[in-house]
Structure 1
Amino acid sequence: MPHRLLPQNDQILTVAQMRGGEEVLIAAGASVESLMRIAGLGAAEWVWRVSAGRSVTILCGPGNNGGDGYVIAEVIRERGGQVTVVAPVGPKTDAARDARTRYHGAVLGADAEVHGDVFVDCLYGSGLTRPLSAEDFALLVRLAQAHHHRIALDLPSGVQSDTGMLLNQGLPDYDATLALGAWKFAHFLMPAAATMGALRQVPIGIPAIDRAAVAVAKPRIAAPGADAHKYRRGLLAVVGGAMPGAAVLASLAAQGAGAGYVKLFADSKRNVPADLVVEQGALSDVLADDRNTAILVGPGLGRDAAARERLAVALADPVPAVVDADALILLAPRVLAERSAATVATPHEGELMALERAFDLDGTGSKPARALALAEASGMVVVAKGPDTVIAAPDGRLACAPRASSWLSTAGTGDVLAGCVASRLAAGTEAFAAACEGVWLHGEAARHASPAFTAGQLGQMVPAALAACL
C-alpha cells in the first residue's frame, strides 16, 4: 500500500496498550458505549462511501466489535441505505447489547442466505487469541464469497492482533481494513497484513501511549542550505568487495538519497558510472579520511578472510555505519565491542537468524520482539527487512513499515535499501530516524518504478522518492 495513504495518527498498539488507552478515556468521563458510538459512526462513513448506494451486509459477533457493526448498520439504515445484519448469536457485552437495541432493523441468523455488494466483517476484533469455531469460520467464508467487496472492521476475524498470525487457514482477503483508534501490529506484520487490502484509520481519541511503536511515515527532509557543499551534506564511504556490482548499486542509491558525496572503495573502476568516485588502495588508508560521516559495508563483500579484514577495518572508523548482506554473516560481538558510534544492521530473515545465533538469542517471539531483542543485545539499530519490515533501536524504540510493492522481491533491492539508509545516516540523521527514512524512501522508490523493475531501475527512482519529502 502506498505510504501516503496512512493517516496522521501513527502509533501502533498492542491489545493491552489499546485497552489502556481506552481506560484513560473512560477515566476522563467517556463510556464504553460512547466510544463504540464514535468508532461506529467513523467506520460507517467509510462503509457508506465504499457502498455508494449498493447493498451492505454486516456480520456482527457477540462482543464489542459486533456492537460497532450494529452502530454502522443503524447509520446506513437511517440514511436510506440497504443494509442487512447477520448475527450467529446475540450480543454478550453491555455496550454491544445497547448498540443492538439502537439498531431498528432486522437481524438474520447464521443460516440466512445473503448475497450482496459490500460485506463488513464485525465478527471478532483485536482481542481474539484462538481460532474461529468451525461454524463461525464457515459463516465468515460463505458471506465473504457471496459479496463483491469486503471490509474488515479493526482486524479481519481470525487474526491475532499482536503477532499478525492467522489463527485459521483459508481466511478471506479484504479490500480494506478500518483500524479503530490506532494501528495494531497485525496491520503491518505478515501473513495477516497481506489479507487486509487498503488500510484506513477511524480515530476515537486514544491518547499518545508511552513507548508505543510507530508506523514509518513520510519523512520531512529539507533541501540543502544556501551555503551547502558536498562535504557538509555528508560523505559516505562504501566498502566494496568480491562482488562489486552490489556495492555499486548501493552507492548509486545513496547518491539519490541525499548524501553530498559518495565514495566507493573498490579494487577496480570497471563498469562504474562516471559520476561515482572510486578509491583504490589499502582500505586502512582510504578510510582514514576524517571527512567521512558514515560507512556502508556488506553489499558484495564476500565471506572469506579478506572480507573479515575489510569489515573489521570499516567498523574501526569512528563514524556511524550500516552493516548489510555478507557483513551480517561475518559480524560477531567482538567486532562491535570497541565501537562507540551508531551501527545500523539491515538483515533479511536468514541474516536475522545468523545474528541471533551470534548474540546468543533464541529467536522466538514475533518479528518486533526478535528485532528488539537483537537491538538490545547488540547495541545496533536493527532493520529486520522483508515483506514486513520492522525497525528496532537499543533504547526500545520500534517502528513498522507500511506494506510496499511486492515487486521488491528481486535480487539487489536490499543493496538499494542499504544505500538509502546509509545516505540518510551520512547526511547527519540520527540512526533510528535514518533507518526509518531509508526504509520509506526504498518503498516510495518502488511505487515510482514500473512493475518487474530491476534493482538498478529501483535505484534510479530514489531521487523521485526523495523529492516527495521536500
Structure 2
Amino acid sequence: MAGSAILTADAMRAAEQAVFDAGVEPYALMERAGTAAAELIWRASCGRDMLVLCGPGNNGGDGYVVARLLAARGVPVRVAAMGESRTESGIQARSLWTGSVEALADARPASVLVDALFGTGLARGLDDDVAGRLCALAERATHIHAIDLPSGVATDSGALLSPVPDYDLCIALGAWKPAHWLQPAAGTVRQAVLADIGIACDDRVHALMPPRLKAPGADAHKYRRGLVAVVGGAMAGAGRLASRAAAVGGAGYVRRLAMEADHAGPDAIVASVAATPDRLAGALDDRRIAALLVGPGLGRDDAARARMGIALAARRPLVLDADALMLLDADAVPPGSVLTPHDGEFAALFGDLPGSKIDRALAAARRCGSVVVAKGADSVIAAPDGRAAVARGASHWLSTAGTGDVLAGLVAGRLAVTGDPFRAACEAVWLHGEAARLAGAAFIADGLIGCIAPAIAGRL
C-alpha cells in the first residue's frame, strides 16, 4: 500500500540506511525532508511570523532547513535551539542558516510554532525545563506544527514520555510511525500528513486505508452474497444489532438463532428459535453458512458456554466477540477466526503481553492463528502472518452501548462477502468508523446501522 507503511524507529533507521547505501548522501535526505516539511508549513501558516525550535539531532537539522527555506520566501522566521547541533547533517543544516539563533530558554513566542526538537527514536521524556518551555510557547502560538513527531512521545508505543501540547499539524517524514496512529500520542495532533522523501518501506504494518468495494454482480443471489448465522443468547438486543449490521454490511442472507421466539427487527432477517443444543446444532449444519457470529448478547453462564461449544464444533468461518471472548481460552480458538476484543477482553484472553498495541495484537494473532481486531480509539487489525492495519480518529461518540455488536456484525457480513478474514476485518473497521462520522453527534447503535449503507456507497 503506497504511502501507508507504519515503521518503528529501528525500521525507519534501516530504511534510511538503505537509501544511503544506494548512494544518497545523508544531508541530501535531510534537504528532501526539510523541503517537504517547509512546503506543508508554508501552506498551513500563510506567511505568519514563525519560531522554529531546533534540537541537537537530525530533527533539529530538519528544522534549520525549514527555517532557511521559509525565510527565503519572505516569512518572518526566528530559530531557537537547545544547544549546538551534534550530528553531521544537523551541523551542515545549521551552517546554512544565516539568521540568529536564540536560546530556547529565552525565546519569545510567535504566531506559528514549529517543533523540531526531537523526532523518531526518543527514549525518554524531555527535561522539565524544556518540556515546560515547549508548552509555554505553544500556549502563545495560534498554529503549532511538529516535524516528524511531537517532542515527548515514544515513537513505537505512542506513550507520552513528558507533557506534550496539542498540535494543529504533524508532518510525518518518509513513513508513518506507530505514534502517529496509537493513543495517546495520536490524540495530541489534529491533522497528520505524510511527506514522501523517497524512502522504500515495508508495508506489512500499515495505516488502514479506505477499502475498494464491489457491488454484487449480475449473477448474484442471496447465498452467493453470503449467509451469516448469528448465535443469539440471553441479551436478544445485541444479537439483533449484530444481525442488522451483517445484513446492511453486505451479506445476502442473515439468520438469527435466538433463545426464544422474537420477531423484533427487520422482516428480512430470519429469526429462528434454537434454544436447545439439538436445534442449534441442526441449524448450524448448513454448508451454505459463510460466516458464523458468536458472542453478542450470548451471556456467560453454563448455557452460554454450551451454545458456544456447539458453534465452535460446527466448523464454520467464525467471528468471535464479546461474551464468547470471555468464555474461551486463547489456545482453543479455531484457526482462521476473527476475534474483536476491547482492552478488557483482550487482557482476559491473552494476558499482559509486552510491547506496543501493535506488538500485542500481532502476538495474539500468531498465538491463536486468527485475525485479531484490538478495538479502541486506535484499533489494530492483526493477522497471524504478520500483517497489521491500524485505524485512528474514530468518533468518540462510538463509546455507547451496542456499537461493538454493530462492528461484530459488520465483520461477519464482510467475511461472508469476501471469504478473507483479514480483508473482512479491515473493511468492517473502516466502514464502522465512516458510519460513525456520517452519523454525527450523539447517535446510538441503532442509528449507526442506518449510516452503513451510505458508507458502503461511498466506496463503490
| CA deviation string 1:323-351 (max 9, x = no partner) | 00000000125643xx46x2011000110
CA contact (8 A) 1:293 1:428 kept: no
Does 1:112 pair with 2:106? yes
User: 1:150: Cα distance to partner?
Assistant: 0.8
SS of the residue 2:360 aligns to? helix
| Partner in structure 2 of residue 160 of structure 1 | 154
Shift of 1:394: 1.4
Range 239-248 or range 109-118, more displaced: 109-118
1:267-307 superposed Cα distances (whole Å, 9 cap, x missing partner): 22242222221122311111112111110110000011111
Aligned ranges 1:328-367 → 2 under 5 Å: 328-333=325-330, 335-336=332-333, 339=334, 342-357=336-351, 362-367=352-357
Q: Is the 8 A contact 2:34 2:65 kept in 1?
A: yes
Alignment pair present for 1:220 and 2:212: yes
2:156/2:177 contact within 8 Å kept: yes
Q: In structure 2, what is the Cα distance between the partners aligned to 1:334 and 1:389?
A: 23
Q: Distance in 1 between matches of 2:415 and 2:85?
A: 53
Post-superposition CA distance 1:409-453 (Å, at most 9, x none):
111111111111111111124111111111111111111012011
**Percentage of identical aligned residues:** 51
In 2, are the aligned partners of 1:312 and 1:335 still within 8 Å (CA)? no
**1:3 paired residue number:** none
Q: Amino acid of the residue matched to residue 77 of structure 1?
A: A
- Equivalences for 1:379-394 in 2 at 5 Å? 379-394=369-384
Check conservation: 1:12, 1:214, Cα contact below 8 A. yes
Report the equivalent of 2:61. 67
Displacement, 1:356?
Answer: 1.2
Per-residue displacement from partner, 1:3-49 (whole Å, max 9, x unpaired)?
xxxx9501100111101111111111111101110011101111001
1:395 counterpart residue number: 385
| Counterpart amino acid of residue 341 in structure 2 | P
Question: Hey, which bits of structure 1, 4+ residues long, moved more than 4 A?
Answer: none
1:192-341 equivalent positions in 2, closer than 5 A? 192-209=185-202, 212-266=204-258, 267-281=260-274, 282-333=279-330, 335-336=332-333, 339=334
Residue identity opposite 1:183 in structure 2: W
Q: What CA deviation, in whole Å up to 9, does each residue of 1:379-436 have, x standing for no partner?
A: 2211110111111111221221122111111111111111111111111241111111
Aligned to 1:4: none
Distance 1:37 1:201 in 2: 16
Q: TM-score, normalised by structure 2?
A: 0.96
Q: 2: CA distance between counterparts of 1:184 and 1:32?
A: 20
How much has 1:56 moved relative to structure 2? 1.6
> Hey, what does 2:10 align to over in structure 1?
16
Q: Is the 8 A contact 1:256 1:466 kept in 2?
A: no
Aligned Cα root-mean-square deviation (Å): 1.5
Tell me the CA shift for residue 101 of structure 1. Answer: 1.5
Secondary structure at the counterpart of residue 452 of structure 1: coil
Asked if structure 1 preserves the Cα contact closer than 8 Å seen for 2:330 and 2:349, the reply is no
Pairing partner for 1:175 from 163, 168, 179: 168
Whole-Å Cα distance in 1 between the matches of residues 38 and 399 of structure 2? 36
- Which is bigger in relative contact order (C-alpha 8 A, separation at least 6)? 1
Q: Deviations over 1:74-130 (max 9, x none)?
A: 111111111111112121111011111112222211233422221111000111101
Task: Report the residue type matching 1:154 in the other structure.
Answer: D
What CA distance in whole angstroms lies between the structure 2 residues aligned with 1:41 and 1:429?
A: 44
- Residue 87 in 1 paired to residue 81 in 2? yes
- Which secondary structure does the structure 2 equivalent of 1:182 belong to? coil
Say if 2:377 and 2:392, in contact at 8 Å, map to a contact too.
Answer: no
2:122 aligned to which of 124, 128, 133: 128
Q: Distance in 2 between matches of 1:59 and 1:268?
A: 67
DSSP 3-state at the match of 1:66? helix
Q: Structure 1 residues 111, 370: closer, same or farther in 2, change over 3 A?
A: closer
Give the letter for the 1:235 counterpart. Answer: L
Q: Matches of 1:155 and 1:31 in 2, distance apart?
A: 23
Partner of 2:411: 421
| 2:425 aligned residue (421, 431, 435) | 435
* Whole-angstrom distance in 2 between the partners of 1:253 and 1:461: 10
Contact 1:56-1:118 at 8 Å conserved across structures: yes
- TM-score (structure 1 length as normaliser): 0.94
Unaligned runs of 5+ in 1: 1-6
Query: Within 1, Cα distance between the matches of 2:70 and 2:107?
Result: 21
Amino acid corresponding to residue 200 of structure 2 in structure 1: P
- Across the two proteins, how many residue pairs are aligned to each other? 455
- For the residues of structure 2 that align with 1:464 and 1:315, how far apart are their CA atoms? 34
Post-superposition CA distance 1:225-244 (Å, at most 9, x none) = 11111111111111111001
